[in-house]
Amino acid sequence: MLKGKTAVITGASRGIGKAIALNMAQNGANVAIIYAGNTEAAADVRRQAESFGVKAEQYQCDVANWDESKAVCERILADFGSVTILVNNAGIIKDNLLLRMSEKDFEDVIDVNLKGAFNFIKHLSRSIMKAPGGRIINISSVSGMMGNVGQANYSAAKAGVIGLTKTVAREFAGKNVTCNAIAPGFISTDMTAALPLTIKEHANTTIPLKRMGTPDEVAHVATFLASDFSSYITGEVIRVDGGLCM
């Protein structure tokens, strides 16, 4: 499905990003694994990706840092020659009620979740626009669609990702590049595992499908959006949330 294409996935050492990287590798894409700090976890993802017979490399990067992101993107282009697919998945949470939220916690979440996506789109856009069937996929959240108590920073960042997605879709359409967003709901990852049990139990009662999703269920949608099967879809936000936000 993705044979011969190169995909860059940020936040790919665990959770949803890891699942996307491995699913795309399984479908034939070479993968550049971007991670923040856990080198061994990223190396494990790289080894698993290579087992599918594709090229895989890992790159440590603070996606919120303009210069660092630019340098890493230049290394990726030198290593792979070109990039066809970009998945902006890197994200952090620093939850608190707005009245208790610090300026730093607000800025940090905006910088990683929103500015990080902008940085990688900016630095890789020329290569993606030259590639046949370029694809940009941004991981947003249902929190960015409906808000969430204690997540003023995260909800604002993920809503911003949706606005960024739609603007990039319009600006890049002339180059036959599509840009779409995926909005996961409650997905079983390290991030949701850290949530209090009461919140997780409440989530399961409010989700129509009565369960959390899996990283693979998000990854399948990402691979579809990266493939030729999605060639006439752009500027869209696809929820993977078990019906939570319908």
Q: Is-contact 209 10, C-beta < 8 A?
A: no
Active site residue 232: no
Q: What string of DSSP letters covers 1-66?
A: --TT-EEEETTTTSHHHHHHHHHHHHTT-EEEEEESS-HHHHHHHHHHHHTTTS-EEEEE--TT-H
Q: Cα separation of 51 and 53, whole Å?
A: 5
Strand intervals (E) in 96-175: 135-139
- Facing residues of 58 across strands? 33
Choice among 35, 59, 154, 232 that is catalytic: 154
Residues known to be catalytic: 154
